[in-house]
Amino acid sequence: MVDIDLESIHKAFDDAVALEEVSLTVEDGEFFTLVGPSGCGKTTTLRTIAGLSSPTDGTVRFDGEDVSDVPVEDRNVGVVFQSYALFPHMTVTENIRYGLRFTDPPRGLTADERVEELLELVDLPGMGDREPDELSGGQQQRVALARALAPAPDVLLLDEPMSALDARLREQLRREIKRIQRELGVTTVYVTHDQEEALAVSDRLAVMNDGGVEQVGTPVEVYEQPATEFVASFVGENNVFSGVVAANENGELAIEVDEKAPEGHRFHVAAEDHGGHAGHGAAADTDADDSHVDEAHAVGDHVTFCVRPTNLDPAASQNRFPVALGADEYLGGTTRLYGEWAGREIVLRLPEPPAEDAITVGFDPTEATLL
């Protein structure tokens, strides 16, 4: 297997910039996910790794070797597309064997032995004689995965492979893909717009936006320590506040919120910087910087911070503020509530909706994240 380095990748289509200064490292054997909204550049990044798209500028390296100009058939990558792309006139066996058209099976196996091995791996034993239209969507995607794995690629690339499947099947198949990746140890890059899916399957992920990388980190780091306002809003739900530092004492910032809030209202936020802020188009791991915000933020500085809905608690003793409640959604185990405070929407997650139309909630200073 290999590690992958993207260095200052720029990709333009005429006047449209698809990627701008994207730098990423995917480690040998890692399950790495590119996640972001439609049009953010994640599929273009995947195609650049595969060799299906050449960068306008920048370098792609496999194990330190520049492969920027190496054609896709010589990169030893397997690609699984969103559309499955199975040949309808071929059986399952023939579709999988098609993945061996440019190379011999690994470990001295025959083509038939490799197909049988892969059918076992993707949990489709005995289905080699079936045709694609006799399979479910999930089974078809497993065949596409087996075909991509047939030549034992150094890198496996998956472009939104489960977007056409229903929610329950997606959950089942993503567990299977993770199992297969772990069993083979193949370096894997996975593209999805589904934040929950990205958090569930990844060793690390890169959150992309508008052709650049906003943050790189483990699922826990990205969820609990978002580096930018975009990451905070895109990966899970968040309540984002902004204001001016009114005091900086004892490891806490006292932040006077903007003019929409009642006059004099202050929130207290722990001043520790979680690190990991990646500038637009840059890559950074969330443990890369152990500096502290209290050394950088002075009285009068404008700051932004966020608080997860689950951290807004009616029983909290600090940072309390009233919320006028509106709609609620029962999610099985918790209820999502939408409310309003100081002209902005507030999202809460509580075990059950309160009987009142208004509620006072608060949060601990350590449960807020400075952006």
CATH code for the part of the protein at 4-224 = 3.40.50.300
**Full-model pTM:** 0.87
pLDDT at 283: 41
Within the chain, all domains assigned CATH 3.40.50.300 are found at 4-224
pLDDT along the chain (371 residues), means of 10: 94 92 97 96 97 96 96 93 89 95 91 96 94 93 94 95 82 91 96 94 97 97 94 93 91 84 80 48 42 64 94 96 95 94 93 92 95 88
Could you name the CATH architecture of 229-370? Beta Barrel (2.40)
pLDDT at 282: 39
Within the chain, all domains assigned CATH 2.40.50.100 are found at 229-370
Tell me how far apart the alpha carbons of residues 273 and 351 are, in angstroms, rounded to a whole number. 31
| Helices marked H in 185-316 | 195-201, 219-224, 229-234
What phi, psi does 321 have (nearest 5°)?
A: -155, 150
Question: Strand (E) positions, the chain?
Answer: 4-13, 16-26, 31-35, 57-62, 65-66, 77-80, 155-159, 187-192, 204-209, 212-217, 239-249, 252-257, 266-270, 302-307, 321-330, 335-341, 344-350, 358-361, 368-370
Closest Cα partner for 234 from 271, 198, 262?
A: 198
